């Protein structure tokens, strides 16, 4: 097994010439049947990983204790990085804008709202974006908001909303009468943050035209969302809803069938 030609054959067989179907079969046989290949976009793995694997295959037993531990630490670090990217991608798959402008949001079942926002901030850093996409300075506000059964974003629960930019001069009570209920504030924050990550800061649901200094109302009374000049989504709590104007209302859309062009939601990616 240690002869160079054997190693070359091993790597050749296990990578270059192996079809995805065959590899999936071997993963299944190895007890990794729940690992579905290419369910998520693959990422670039550092070249050092490949050289470390080759070092392990070629040198094996002659590796020192320190070298083995060093390889293990690097693999753990790579695994953590990939896991973060994997979870960020799963969040992004739960956000979708339909052709008619309707925005669909679902938070993956295995994470809380604040965990999701931390993951998105981490993914932004890994992509080299200079600032956080979501402000966690108001963590206490969000913790209180997400512990309120009437206001919270429930993981796995699907929401659809439209942003009523044309009615931005009206007060909350008037908007409520005109459009009905709104979606959880966290659903709005999640959608906007995800859109900014996906577009690397070039696209926004809140501000289709950049520089509009838009404020957005969701289900939580007395709280507004906006985006700072650095591109960070933040909440402004303690607002008098009846005196503030120029605020966009996020209208909750419940009769989905009437609004979606394809007439059903089963064809979309589900992350719940």
Partner 1 sequence: MIVKEDEKKDLAFRELRASLQALLERKNLPLQERALILAAIEKVETLLGEE
Crossing angle for the helix pair 139-146 and 113-126, to the nearest 10 degrees = 140
- Tell me which residue has tokens 């079942």: 109
Per-residue buried b or exposed e for 260-272, using 16+ beta carbons within 10 Å of the residue's own CB = beeeeeeebeebe
Pick from 25, 28, 33, 72 the residue near partner 1 by CB under 8 A. 72
Identity of the residue, 85 or 247, whose beta carbon is nearer to partner 1 in the bound complex: 85
**Cα end-to-end span (Å), the chain:** 45
Instruction: With contacts defined by CB under 8 A, name the span among 52-60, 111-119, 187-195, 239-247 that binds partner 1.
Output: 52-60
Identity of the residue, 67 or 115, whose beta carbon is nearer to partner 1 in the bound complex: 67
Instruction: For CA atoms 28, 31, 33, 36, give the dihedral sign.
Output: negative
Answer yes or no whether residue 111 interacts with partner 1 by CB under 8 A.
no
Identity of the residue, 1 or 209, whose beta carbon is nearer to partner 1 in the bound complex: 1
Residues that contact partner 1, how many (by CB under 8 A) = 45
Answer yes or no whether residue 47 interacts with partner 1 by CB under 8 A.
no
Partnered with residue 60 across adjacent β-strands are none
CB neighbours of 153 closer than 8 A, spacing ≥ 6? Answer: 107, 113, 146, 159, 184, 185, 186, 187, 190
For the bound state, the minimum distance from the C-beta of residue 2 to partner 1, rounded and expressed in Å, comes to: 9
Which residues contact partner 1 by CB under 8 A? 1, 10-11, 14-16, 18, 20, 23, 26-27, 30, 32, 35-37, 39-45, 49-50, 53-54, 56-57, 60-61, 65, 68-69, 71-72, 75-76, 78-79, 82-83, 85-86, 89
């Amino acid at each position: 097994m240690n002869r160079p030609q054997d190693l070359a054959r091993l790597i050749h067989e296990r990578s270059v010439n192996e079809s995805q179907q065959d590899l999936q079969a071997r993963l299944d046989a190895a007890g990794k049947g729940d690992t579905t290949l290419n369910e998520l976009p693959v990422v670039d793995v550092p070249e050092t990983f490949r050289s470390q694997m080759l070092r392990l295959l070629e040198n094996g037993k002659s590796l020192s204790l320190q070298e083995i531990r060093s390889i293990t630490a690097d693999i753990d670090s790579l695994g953590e990085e990939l896991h973060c990217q994997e979870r960020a991608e799963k969040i992004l798959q739960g956000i979708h804008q339909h052709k008619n402008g309707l925005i669909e949001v679902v938070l993956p079942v295995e994470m809380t709202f604040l965990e999701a926002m931390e993951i998105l901030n981490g993914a932004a850093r890994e992509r080299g974006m200079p600032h956080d996409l979501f402000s966690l300075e108001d963590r206490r506000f969000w913790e209180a908001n997400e512990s309120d059964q009437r206001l919270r974003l429930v993981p796995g629960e699907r929401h659809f909303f439209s942003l009523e930019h044309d009615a931005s001069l009206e007060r909350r009570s008037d908007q409520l009468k005109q459009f009905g209920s709104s979606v959880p504030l966290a659903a709005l924050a999640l959608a906007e943050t995800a859109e900014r990550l996906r577009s690397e800061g070039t696209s926004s649901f809140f501000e289709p035209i950049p520089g509009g200094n838009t404020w957005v109302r969701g289900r939580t009374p007395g709280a507004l969302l906006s985006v700072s000049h650095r591109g960070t989504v933040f909440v402004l709590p303690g607002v008098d809803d009846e005196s503030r104007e120029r605020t966009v209302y996020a209208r909750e859309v419940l009769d989905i069938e009437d609004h979606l062009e394809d007439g059903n939601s089963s064809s979309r990616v589900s992350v719940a």
